[in-house]
């Protein structure tokens, strides 16, 4: 009996050692997506698919762009009517079917961006400052956290005027910037959308000149292809007749490398119905990226 007791204790000790040495299961990149409803999960996958097919691929699968629009411009009949005064208490008539439906859908989108946000990426839903025909327009953006912080730090002489530093959160920065004056807004978005310094300067200076003279400043555009189109998406304005430099070529080459990587990955995550398992693709990419850091 004594030997059996010692043997049992030895086995128990060995088991505890093995358990202690066993690698822990790493948290998945999107740990909260299992808390989305089936409808919200489908909406999230469509959102990410659209982003990957457009310019958000340069934020999702790389750090070329500190942030990108995910292409979903939402519009709802919830804006204040012209007849209403500043400070009115009852603005949104919740009992109206169209308004109630709008708020329900927005609740889903807020839940989706919150559940998709993780260590590497932050998804935000930001209302535009200006309304249109009593409709409030909103945009969904994705931020590469590390690259976003870097952009704030690189341009601290500009962003510092609001007290923003590399540790400032994207949601605070973006809600502030959207409601700022025109040209500060343009410059901030230029830096955060990842446009080269010369392109940001030109766009802001052209805007100032237009305000002063009333004349539109003619321009050309530097086009960077995305999966959905060769032109019209990741695009920035340049002076008329401008000849691209090494800086522009560098941006183009980096974008091309990310695009090739996406096209290779895309083949592995296409579902039988032709849809893309975008959440699965991004999960595996982020997991591998973290493993190599």
pTM: 0.88
pLDDT given for residue 19 in this prediction: 36
With CA atoms as reference, report the closest residue to 146 among 7, 45, 3, 289: 289
Question: For the chain, how many structural domains are there in total?
Answer: 1
With CA atoms as reference, report the closest residue to 191 among 138, 139, 151: 151
pLDDT given for residue 29 in this prediction: 87
pLDDT given for residue 113 in this prediction: 97
Residue 20 lies in a domain: no
pLDDT given for residue 27 in this prediction: 66
Token readout for 219 is 């321009």
pLDDT given for residue 74 in this prediction: 95
Domain that holds residue 224: 29-291
Which mean pLDDT values do the consecutive 10-residue runs of the chain (293 residues) have? Answer: 45 39 58 94 97 98 96 91 92 90 97 97 96 94 98 98 98 97 98 98 98 97 95 95 97 97 96 96 92 73
Residue 252 lies in a domain: yes
Residue 168 lies in a domain: yes
Token readout for 205 is 């200076």
Token readout for 187 is 């410059």
- Dist CA 114 CA 109 (whole Å): 9
pLDDT given for residue 2 in this prediction: 46
Residue 83 lies in a domain: yes
Residue 92 gets the label, from left (phi > 0), alpha (psi -120 to 50) or beta, of beta
Residue 206 lies in a domain: yes
Residue 4 lies in a domain: no
- Dist CA 14 CA 213 (whole Å): 82
Residue 15 lies in a domain: no
pLDDT given for residue 73 in this prediction: 84
């Amino acid at each position: 009996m004594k030997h059996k007791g010692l043997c049992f204790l030895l086995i128990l000790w060995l088991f505890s050692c093995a358990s202690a040495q066993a690698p822990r299961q790493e948290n998945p990149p999107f740990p909260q997506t299992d808390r989305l409803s089936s409808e919200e999960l489908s909406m999230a996958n469509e959102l990410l698919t659209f982003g990957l097919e457009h310019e958000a691929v340069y934020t999702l699968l790389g750090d070329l762009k500190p942030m990108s629009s995910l292409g979903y411009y939402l519009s709802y009949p919830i804006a204040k009517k012209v007849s209403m005064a500043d400070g009115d208490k009852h603005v949104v008539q919740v009992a109206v079917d169209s308004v109630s439906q709008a708020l329900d859908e927005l609740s889903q989108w807020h839940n989706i961006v919150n559940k998709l946000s993780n260590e590497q990426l932050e998804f935000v839903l930001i209302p535009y400052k200006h309304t249109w025909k009593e409709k409030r327009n909103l945009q969904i953006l994705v931020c590469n956290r590390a690259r976003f912080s870097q952009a704030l730090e690189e341009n601290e002489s500009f962003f510092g005027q609001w007290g923003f530093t590399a540790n400032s959160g994207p949601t605070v920065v973006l809600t502030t910037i959207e409601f700022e004056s025109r040209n500060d807004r343009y410059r901030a978005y230029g830096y955060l959308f990842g446009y080269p310094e010369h392109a940001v300067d030109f766009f802001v200076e052209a805007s100032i000149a237009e305000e002063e003279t009333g004349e539109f400043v003619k321009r050309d555009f530097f086009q960077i292809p995305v999966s959905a189109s060769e032109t019209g998406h990741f695009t920035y304005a340049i002076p008329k007749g401008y000849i691209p430099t090494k800086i522009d070529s560098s941006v183009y080459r980096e974008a091309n490398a990310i695009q090739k990587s996406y096209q290779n990955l895309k083949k592995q995550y296409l579902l039988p119905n032709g849809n893309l398992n975008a959440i699965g693709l991004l999960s595996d990419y982020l997991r591998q990226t973290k493993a190599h850091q």
